Amino acid sequence: MRLKDKVAIITGGAKGIGRETALLFAREGAKVVIGDFDEEAGRKTLEDILALGAEALFCKVDVTDRVSVEEMVKKTKERFGRVDILINNAGITADALLTKMTDQQWDKVIDVNLKGVFLCTRAVAPVMIEQGYGVILNASSVVGVYGNIGQTNYAATKAGVIGMTRSWAKELGRKGIRVNAVAPGFIMTEMTARVPEKILELMKEKTPLGRLGQPRDVAAAYLFLASDEASFINGQVLGVDGGLVI
């Protein structure tokens, strides 16, 4: 087992990529904390993990709220005694062209995708520093590297995540903490289910592998980066996009 007895917090862990990652980590021996605002989906994922015979905890969390985030970390320490891995996976979209994007759309995406990553990492970092060990993995996107029409807010957050990843890798590396990011392409989740079919077909045609990604593709990348096999990888952004950007 590649993550035996490691304690992993996964935000947005109730559905999509987060759920797939939580299940995979549990199979690989991790004790999983599912952090999500969706209580019903979170408890369903918790049940599925417990059915595997793994240890897990569900924490209802609003990643945009400092108190809520700190409570999640506190509960994790009380239950498992440490935090080895943080996956900042929670994210949302609120798409619109620049001239039609509202302040509310901008603020909402910035709060969840950027501030949420900052708050969760700031809350976990002291625990990892005290341990002298930790892995922090952040969800960026190909959109954060190359931009995308109608996603000014989303692109800004995902580019910001890359900047934070590299800054934290420099700050925390000497304290035994690795920080990396993944940049998925088009992955078949509830989020992409709202994308028009013709756009998805276009993305499939542009992808050299000839298909769209599945949540398990990103989960596998998280697993590798969280494992000791990636012990000398720090400050990197791993594309999981089937070659879409080449």
> Which residues carry out catalysis?
154
Report how far apart, in Å, the C-alpha atoms of 90 and of each of 9, 100, 117, 204 are: 11, 25, 8, 25
Could you tell me the residue range of the domain that residue 65 belongs to? 7-233
Over residues 78-101, the mean pLDDT reads 98
What's the half-sphere exposure (Cβ side, CA atoms, 13 Å) at 191? 19
81 is a domain residue: yes
pLDDT digits (tens, 9 = 90+) for 176-223: 999 999 999 989 987 777 777 887 888 889 899 999 999 999 999 999
Measured distance CA(193)–CA(199) in Å, rounded: 11
3-state SS assignment for residue 24? helix
Measured distance CA(172)–CA(125) in Å, rounded: 8
243 is a domain residue: no
What's the half-sphere exposure (Cβ side, CA atoms, 13 Å) at 96? 12
Per the prediction, the chain carries an average pLDDT of: 96
CATH number at residue 212: 3.40.50.720
Over residues 126-134, the mean pLDDT reads 98
